[in-house]
Amino acid sequence: MSTDVTAKTPAPPGGGGPASDGGLLRLMLGGMRRNMRQYGMLMALGLIVVLFAVWSGGDLLLPRNVSNLVLQNSYILILAIGMMLVIIAGHIDLSVGSLTAFIGAMSAVLMVEHDLSWPLAVVLCLAIGAVAGSVQGFFIAYLGIPSFIVTLAGMLLFRGLTEIFLKGQTLGPFPKDLQKIANGFLPEVGPNTNYHNLTLLLGFALIAFVVFQEVRDRKRQQEFALDVLPAKLFLLKLVALVAAVLVVTLLLASYKGAPVVLLILGVLVVGFGYLMRNAIIGRHIYAIGGNLPAAKLSGVKDKKVTFLVFLNMGMLAALAGLVFAARFNAASPKAGLNFELEAIAASFIGGASMSGGVGTVLGAIIGGLVLGVLNNGMNLVGIGTDWQQVIKGAVLLAAVGFDVWNKRKVGS
């Protein structure tokens, strides 16, 4: 039985109006604190964008630069989605950077040396990535070897295989059609409006989807008596999300339109977001990461779930490897260096917890964008690579520290 405190509690004598306003303010601040972990990095991303937009004299938000941001960070964002699932399940994967390089090498060997058609080569490479991920998943799930050890071995193994297949040399070029997936843009349709019409349509559709999703999620939370943002804050959040999507849409539409790889990312975000929110497998991933003994007692097949999580990570690493190789039109033995660290950092910045059981797919994207905007902004204002590493390390530490602090505050 719930009690409407704001409606039934009498105001203190002599101060009805201000007390009511103060109660509403406390309620709003309480809602913000409970949801700070979810929205903190989104606000941080907005602040970083504003900071570097001003610092760079507006160069950060030039339409061409916004398109480059998407293209430059696409493969890290793909990896971050898979890594988020791995971390939610209570594991880690150190092999994704080397696996990305290995798949790039395999694709080059198949398409350049053996002249295999690129669609068939793409399917084979995704299958190879799935096999690689499933082998690691088998050792972790069914043999009980810690994921840190298995994937560390995988990192060394795939890096060595990359050197062997490429013989220490760069191999390319790739077919033009495959390059368009990593570097291309959606075709122009309709009359001349000085904007890319198809991008505008997709942007408006995304705005409608975001509004529908947010309203539906709020109603579901209310039905189950869960904490929700106060109405004013929810409306403010909705306006901010719509404004952000609209601005990005207009920027992309005023250049060449939405990159093809952005559509791929969109499909992944929607698909995995639905899987983690609504599908049984998603709830099981959260369960084994949050409390493995309880999950087992509840009938969750933890070994199967862990196996599938790493199989999925292998496929996404393969996709990232194909996108990376196609973008640079060559496979290199040095490709994928530190990609695993970028993906892990994106996941933790985006709200994942070291203890597992916490995180969202959208959070991984936000974390990846935070790193991407930092990299791009620091390059635009001329900050050296040495200080860039220092700043990114500080951001990661601050994100994890904020997570620990916020959990203590909410729990108190």
Q: The domain at 37-184+259-411 falls in which architecture?
A: Orthogonal Bundle (1.10)
Q: Where are the domains of the chain?
A: 37-184+259-411, 192-258
Nearest to 80 by CA among 375, 366, 289, 306: 366
pLDDT band at 292, cuts 50/70/90?
very high
Q: Alpha helices, DSSP H only, in 1-117?
A: 5-8, 16-55, 63-88, 96-108
Q: Which residue has the higher pLDDT, 20 or 291?
A: 291
Q: Which residue has the higher pLDDT, 201 or 353?
A: 201
What's the CA gap between 53 and 69, in Å, rounded?
A: 13
Provide mean pLDDT across the span 144-156.
97
- The pLDDT tens digits of the residues spanning 313-364 come to 999 999 999 999 999 999 999 999 999 999 999 999 888 888 889 899 999 9
- The pLDDT tens digits of the residues spanning 67-116 come to 999 999 999 999 999 999 999 999 999 999 999 999 999 999 999 999 99
Q: What are 239's two structure tokens?
A: 């306006």
**Cis link prior to 173 (omega < 30° from 0)?**
yes
Percentage of the residues of the chain whose pLDDT score is greater than 70: 88
End-to-end CA distance of the chain: 23
Task: Name the one residue in this structure whose structure tokens are 């499933």.
Answer: 134
pLDDT band at 410, cuts 50/70/90?
low
DSSP 163-207: HHHHTTS-B-PPPHHHHHHHH-BPPP-SS--SS-HHHHHHHHHHH
Nearest to 229 by CA among 396, 33, 11: 33
- The pLDDT tens digits of the residues spanning 168-186 come to 899 989 999 999 999 999 9
Q: Give the amino acid at 21.
A: D
pTM tops 0.95: no
Nearest to 371 by CA among 354, 394, 404: 394
Q: Could you say which DSSP state residue 11 is in?
A: P
* 227: pLDDT strictly greater than 80: no
Residues 6+ apart with CB under 8 A from 164: none
What's the CA gap between 21 and 279, in Å, rounded?
A: 41
What's the CA gap between 66 and 71, in Å, rounded?
A: 9
Q: 185 forms bridges with which residues in the sheet?
A: 259
Q: Give the amino acid at 409.
A: K
Instruction: Look at residue 179 and give its three-state secondary structure.
Output: helix
- The pLDDT tens digits of the residues spanning 236-278 come to 889 988 999 999 999 999 999 999 999 999 999 999 999 998 8
Provide mean pLDDT across the span 135-148.
97
What's the CA gap between 146 and 149, in Å, rounded?
A: 6
Instruction: Look at residue 308 and give its three-state secondary structure.
Output: helix
Q: What is the mean pLDDT of the chain?
A: 87
What's the CA gap between 338 and 353, in Å, rounded?
A: 21
E strands along 178-289, which residues?
A: none
Q: Give the amino acid at 335.
A: A
